[in-house]
Amino acid sequence: VRRLFASIPWRNFTNNNLANFEGYYASVLYAFLSSLNARIIPEDITNYGQADITAILGDHIYVIEIKVVDGDNVKENLALKQIRECN
């Protein structure tokens, strides 16, 4: 995933706030997972809450929650915390 984000041209997200929005990263992940022929459920709503992306690839299910934080707040993994609280 890091390689995928690193390959996005610098000009695609400079001089705008696009990189500050979760939807940007969700869109990139959606495109990437689609290329793997994964079954993707964006904005997956359940009785426990909502995941940004649920991807089913083979025998595995991936629940993905995306959070955009500034450099000062990366110590706490808010996305993982949210998934654990809803489980």
Check residue 85 and give its pLDDT. 79
DSSP 47: T
Check residue 7 and give its pLDDT. 65
Check residue 10 and give its pLDDT. 64
Check residue 60 and give its pLDDT. 96
Check residue 56 and give its pLDDT. 96
pLDDT in tens, 4-13: 666 665 665 6
φ, ψ at 48 (rounded to 5°): -95, -20
Instruction: Report domain extents, the chain.
Output: 2-86
pLDDT in tens, 40-69: 998 888 888 888 899 999 999 999 988 777
Lowest mean pLDDT among 34-38, 46-50, 70-74: 70-74
* CA gap 86, 41 in Å, rounded: 17
Q: What residue has token string 């079954």?
A: 39
Length of the chain: 87
Cβ-based neighbours of 49, under 8 Å, separated by 6 or more: 82, 86
Q: Sheet holding 60-64: strands in order across? A: 39-46, 49-57, 60-64
